[in-house]
Structure 1
Amino acid sequence: MKNVELKDVFTPSQPAAEINYIQRPSIAKRFDRALDQKGKQVIIYGPSGAGKTSLIQHKIHENNIRYLATHCVSSMTFQDILDQAFSDLNIFNENERVSSESNEIKAEGRLSIPFIPIKAGLSGSDNISNQQKLKRVGEFQPNAQNLVEALGDRGMIWIIEDFHKIIESEKKHLAQVMKLFMDKSTTYPNTKIIAIGAVNTARQVVKYDQEMKNRVSEIEVNLMEYEELESIIIRGEKLLNIQIADTVKDKIVKLSSGLPSVTHQLCYLLCEEVKVAKAQDKANKLSIYYPSLDKAIDEYVLEYSDTFKSTLEQALKVSRVRKHDNPSEIFRAILSIKKENFTTNDVLKKIQIFHRDYKGRSLEKHLKELTTHEKGEILRYLEDSELFYFSNPFIKAYFQCSFSNDPAFKKLNAKIKMKEFKSNLETLYQGIADHEDDIFDNPFEEDF
C-alpha cells in the first residue's frame, strides 16, 4: 500500500466505498436481500452523514451492478426527476429514417424500443447506406413507462438520491412509479428503484399507496457504533502507516456522535496537520498525539462555521410567530437543562418557569420537527426512551455560544469566540459517557 494517499483513506466529502469502507453486516444483509428479491423496491433512510450512499456504492461495486443515479434538489417535481433521468441516460428517439439511395424521408413519429443511446451531436455520414436522424427522447414525453423499459433493456437500477427534497405534493408519484417498476419486474427482474432519503422519509412513500406496504424494503442506515467509528481510524492508521494515540482516537469518535462523515473529516485534518499526505515509510512510523488534534478541531470549526451558522438560522426560522412555541424560547429551555438527554416534559418545565400559563400542547411536535432534515437535524429522538439529544457536540457548542447570556458575546473578537466555543466543546466531551453498549445511537450520559 506504498502509494496510498490521504485523500483516498479519509474521504469526508464522498462515499467511503473503497479502501476504507467499514462493513455493517446486519444492514448489508437486509440490503442484499432486497436487491435479490424480484419486484422489491428499496428505500434507504437515515441521518445525514451516516453512510447511506457509501453502503449503496460499495454494494454496486461489489456486485458489478449497472445503475442510473438521479439527484434531487429542492422544489423539484417528479416530472423534473424523470426529465433528468432521460437526460442522464443520453437517450435519443428514432424519429426519421433516411435512405441515402432514394433520398426519401420516412417519418416514424414514435419511440423506438429498445431505445438507442448515442452521444449528443452524432449523425450519420453520407457513405452509410441507411442513415438515421435521431432526436432526444426528451423532445417527446418522458414518462415512467418509457423509463422502466429503457432501464430494463439495459439491466439497470434507478437510484434516486435525496428524495426527501421533492415537493411534498409530488411524493405520491414516487409511490406510483415504484408500483410500476414492481409490476414490470416479470419482464425486467433486475430493474428496480433505490430511493435514498432522510430520517422518517420511508413512511411517506407507503402512506401514499398502501399497496406498496409489503413491496418496499425500508432499510435504516443508523448512526455508527463506537467500535465501527474506531475501525475507520484503525484501518486508516494501517493504510497510512501511522500511530494515533488512543486518547486522540477516543475524542474523535465521541465528537463524531455516530457520524462517519465527521470521523473522516477530523482524521483528514489531523493528518494534514502533521503533514501526512500519503502512506509513510514503514521504518519511520509517525505517532500523533493530542496537541495535533486540538489544532485539527480548530480547523474543523473554522471550516464549518458558516454551516453551523446556517444550521442555527434554519432551526430558528418560523413560518408564523407563536406566543411560546417559538424555536428561540425552546432552545433556551433545552440549553438550560443540565442533562444531555432530555424529555418533552423537561423542556416544558423550563419554559413554565417564565411562562406559568404555558400548556405545551404542541411542544413535542415542535421538538420532533427539530429532528427533521428541513430543520437541519439539530436534535435526535430515541423513540423507545422518548429522549431527545443534540445530534452533534459541535452544533450544541455553537448554539451555547449563540445563546450566551453575556450580552457582549457578539462583540467579542473571533479568537475569543473560538476560545468560548472550544471551552463549551471540551465540557461536552468530558460529559460523554464511556460506551460499553452495543448501540451508539445515544452517545451521551445523563449528567455532566
Structure 2
Amino acid sequence: MDQEIIRKLGVLSEVYTPAYPIEIKELFSGRDSQFRNVFSFIGQKGYHCLIFGDRGVGKTSFSNIVKVVCESDRQVAKISCNSDDTYESMWINVLSKLSIKHEEVKQDIGFNTEPEKTENVILLSNLVSGEDITIPKLLSIFQHLGNPIIILDEFDRLDPDRFNKRLLTDTIKAISDNLPDVTIIIVGVSEDVGSLILEHESIERNIGQIHMPAMSPLEIEAIIKKGEQPLGLKFSQDVVNKIIELSSGYPHFTHALCYYAATSAIYDRSDTIDAVHLSIAIRQTIDNAHESLRNSYRIATLATKQNIFSEVLYAASIVQTDEYGYFQANDLEPILSEILGKDTKVNNFTFHLGKFCIAERGEILRVTGSKNRHRYKFKNPLMRAFIRLKIEAQSSVTQ
C-alpha cells in the first residue's frame, strides 16, 4: 500500500474517533462556555460540580480534556463507574489513581558512608481495604494530597440497590467543610441533578451544575474542520453543511461521518472530500451503528400495510426541540404537512406518537406532562441522527 495513504490513515485514526472518547486536548473542539464554568467551579474553595446531559453529547471526552488540563499541576483521579460498584469499591478505584511519595533512607555499615535515599511512589489503594473506607478515613487520606481532583464518570451506571448515594452526598459535604481544596466532578446521563445524586439542603451551595446540550452547528463545524490541516484534505462546503445537518448536534456521528468520508477520499487519492465520499460514509455509519439503534428503528417503522409511521418518526427527528430534546405534538404539524404534501393536523398523528411510546413500536419515544400538554423525547437521543441518516440514504437510492 502507498506509504502516504498509510500515513494519512494513521493520522485519521487520531483525529476522528467515533468509537472512542477524545483524550488529546488539541483534537477537542467546542464547549467553550462549559469549560469556563468547570474551571470557575474548580477555582472556588469547597466547590464541586456535576456535568449532566443526554447520552452521546460528549461528556466523557469533555471530562477527559478537563483531566488533561488539570493534571499539569495537581493529581487527578478519573474513573468510570459501573453497576457492580459499591461506595467502598468506587473509592478503592479512585485511590488506585492517586499516590503519595515516600522517602526511604538506607544506611550502609561503615563510618564514612553517606545514607542512601530513595523516593518511592505508593498508590493509596495499597494502604487501605474496603472495610477501611469511611468518611473520616477518606478525609485523613485526602488531607495529604493538597488539591486533588476526582472525576466520577458514567455516574448514572451505579446501581441504587448496591451503591449508597446518600453516603456519597454526605462525603461531598464533609470534604467541602473540611478540605475545601479537594474537588469532586460527577459526570452522568441525566436531565436533572436530582436523578443523579441524592441531595440534601445543605449541599446545594457546594455543587455547581453544568448542562451539556447537543452541540451547536458551529461546534460541529469545528470538529469537521479540525482534521483538514493534519490530513491535508478539504471538506467541500456542501459536505460540511450536510454533516452538520445529519449529526443533529451529536459529535459521535460527526466523527463517524468524517472518518468514513475521509477514508474514502484518502483511498481515492483525492484532496477534496465531496458528496460521493459522504454518500459512502453515510452507508458505513449506518452499518456500524449500535445494534440497539438499528433494531429500534426497524420495530418503530415496521409496516404490514400502508401507514405514516416512518414519516412521523422522521418529522420527530428533525423538529426543533428545547435544550433537553423535548417537543410537542403540534410542533410536527408544519413538518408533516410538507413531508406528506397535504395539510396535516395533530389529530392525524397523535395515535402514531402514542404507539412510539409503548413496546409495540419499541418505546422509541418517551412522553411526559399532562394529557393535553404532552411533551415527547427520543428515549435514546442518538436516534434523531440515526433516523436522518436512514432517510438520507434512502433518498439517495431513489434519486
Asked whether the two chains share a fold, i.e. TM above 0.5, the reply is: yes
Match of 1:304 in 2: 289
CA contact (8 A) 1:70 1:159 kept: yes
Match of 1:68 in 2: 77
Within the candidate set 225, 240, 251, 1:260 is matched to 251
CA contact (8 A) 1:164 1:201 kept: no
Q: Residues 41, 312 of structure 1: CA spacing in aligned structure 2 closer, same or farther, 3 A cutoff?
A: farther
Deviation at 1:240, TM superposition (A): 1.7
Q: Does 1:286 align with 2:271?
A: yes
Match of 2:63 in 1: 56
Deviation at 1:38, TM superposition (A): 0.5
Structure 1: runs of 5+ lacking an equivalent: 94-100, 102-115, 121-133, 278-283, 317-327, 355-359, 369-374, 399-417, 431-448
Q: Does 1:210 align with 2:190?
A: no
Kindly provide the amino acid, as one letter, of the partner of residue 122 in structure 2: I
CA contact (8 A) 2:233 2:271 kept: yes
Q: Secondary structure at the match of 2:91?
A: helix
Deviation at 1:217, TM superposition (A): 0.2
Within the candidate set 35, 40, 60, 2:42 is matched to 35
Q: What do residues 198-244 of structure 1 show as CA deviations (whole Å, max 9, x unaligned)? A: 12252235653121112110111111111110111122212322111
Kindly provide the amino acid, as one letter, of the partner of residue 8 in structure 1: E
Alpha-carbon distance in 2 for matches of 1:156, 1:29: 19
Match of 1:422 in 2: 393
Deviation at 1:177, TM superposition (A): 1.8
Match of 1:168 in 2: 160
Alpha-carbon distance in 1 for matches of 2:91, 2:139: 11
Q: Secondary structure at the match of 1:29?
A: helix
Kindly provide the amino acid, as one letter, of the partner of residue 47 in structure 2: K
CA contact (8 A) 2:98 2:123 kept: no
Kindly provide the amino acid, as one letter, of the partner of residue 133 in structure 2: P
Normalised TM-score (structure 1): 0.62
Alpha-carbon distance in 1 for matches of 2:239, 2:32: 27
Match of 2:51 in 1: 44
Normalised TM-score (structure 2): 0.68
Q: What do residues 393-436 of structure 1 show as CA deviations (whole Å, max 9, x unaligned)? A: 454369xxxxxxxxxxxxxxxxxxx8x88317999xx9xxxxxx
CA contact (8 A) 1:44 1:219 kept: yes
Q: Does 1:157 align with 2:142?
A: no
Q: Residues 259, 89 of structure 1: CA spacing in aligned structure 2 closer, same or farther, 3 A cutoff?
A: same
Q: Residues 88, 55 of structure 1: CA spacing in aligned structure 2 closer, same or farther, 3 A cutoff?
A: closer
Q: How does 1:251-400 map to 2 (within 5 A)?
A: 251-275=242-266, 286-309=271-294, 335=310, 337=312, 339-340=315-316, 341=319, 342-343=327-328, 349=347, 388=376, 390=378, 391=381, 392-396=383-387
Greater CA drift, 19-28 or 249-258: 19-28
Kindly provide the amino acid, as one letter, of the partner of residue 422 in structure 1: A
Q: What do residues 121-167 of structure 1 show as CA deviations (whole Å, max 9, x unaligned)? A: xxxxxxxxxxxxx9641265223432344344223111111111112
Alpha-carbon distance in 1 for matches of 2:308, 2:284: 30
Q: Does 1:86 align with 2:57?
A: no
RMSD after superposition? 4.6
Alpha-carbon distance in 2 for matches of 1:367, 1:147: 45
Alpha-carbon distance in 1 for matches of 2:286, 2:58: 22
Alpha-carbon distance in 2 for matches of 1:179, 1:271: 49
Deviation at 1:273, TM superposition (A): 1.8
Alpha-carbon distance in 2 for matches of 1:37, 1:426: 56
Q: Does 1:118 align with 2:122?
A: yes
Percent identical:
20
Alpha-carbon distance in 1 for matches of 2:175, 2:349: 50
